[in-house]
């Protein structure tokens, strides 16, 4: 029996993919989303989800465009039934430079995809959940960089700080509808996105490739030095559960103890 439908944006790979698979295992039917050139990856993911006995649909679109986000919600409801969960996971993390060297178009691209994209997903999901009148869960992608702004991450960190504020504000506004709004705030998570960005970030820090990864690994107080996408997915699984119904407005850290809130 389905728990309802869940949307996971940016789910062609990495953390988003792991979240989609975990929520499918939890009993949700899943609408997976990413950009059009990742449609083959999305279709493969749909096959895996269906292999778990759940329904799934791939809906391509750009989260920075309001019409694409609204289409995502509408098609999800049309094909999978009422919306239960929105996971606004899509975002970018590279390139990274010092603030004084950051071109305006790079800055604006970060804001458009990471922050405006999350805003549009939150807005469309909230409207749908309020309309349905049965409560629900909205989840965003914050970051450790959304709690402490690191060097060469100025554009990225700004968007993640913004997501914390957006999460708190929306939680305050729609809690009366039994809708919770939370975010996950990971530290070093071993994804291809992290490894792709290592060289440029290491160079900006004045070191050879691998410098950034070593810094992240050194910060963990646990034997496990980098987290996995499945670690993030497990947190999301809890935050969308009935047991987490009294948690809202939070950006929950998972960082191996690299810093404490």
Q: Which of 156, 214, 224, 238 is catalytic?
A: 156
Q: Which of 110, 122, 147, 160 is catalytic?
A: 160
The CB density around residue 51, as the number of other CB atoms within 10 Å, is 11
Residue 160 known to be catalytic: yes
Q: Which residues are designated catalytic?
A: 156, 160
């Amino acid at each position: 029996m389905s728990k309802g439908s869940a949307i996971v944006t940016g789910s062609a790979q990495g953390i988003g993919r792991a979240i989609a698979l975990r929520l499918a295992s939890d009993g949700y039917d899943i609408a997976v989303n990413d950009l059009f050139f990742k449609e083959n990856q999305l279709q493969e993911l749909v096959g895996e989800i269906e292999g778990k006995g759940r329904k799934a649909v791939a809906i391509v679109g750009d989260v920075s465009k309001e019409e694409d986000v609204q289409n995502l919600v509408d098609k999800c409801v049309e094909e999978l039934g009422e919306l239960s969960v929105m996971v606004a996971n899509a975002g970018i993390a590279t390139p990274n430079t010092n603030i004084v060297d950051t071109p305006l178009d790079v800055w604006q691209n970060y804001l458009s995809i990471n922050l405006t994209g999350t805003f549009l997903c939150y807005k469309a999901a909230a409207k749908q959940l309020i309309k349905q009148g049965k409560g629900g869960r909205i989840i965003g992608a914050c970051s450790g960089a959304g709690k402490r702004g690191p060097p060469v991450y100025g554009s990225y960190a700004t968007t993640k700080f913004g997501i914390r504020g957006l999460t708190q504000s929306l939680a305050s506004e729609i809690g009366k509808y039994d809708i919770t709004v939370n975010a996950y705030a990971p530290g070093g998570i071993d994804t291809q996105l992290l490894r792709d960005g290592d060289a440029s970030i290491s160079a900006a820090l004045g070191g050879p490739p691998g410098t950034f990864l070593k810094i992240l690994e050194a910060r963990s107080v646990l034997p496990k030095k980098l987290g996995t996408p499945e670690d993030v997915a497990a947190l999301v699984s809890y935050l969308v559960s009935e047991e987490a119904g009294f948690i809202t407005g939070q950006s929950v850290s998972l960082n191996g103890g690299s810093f404490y809130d």
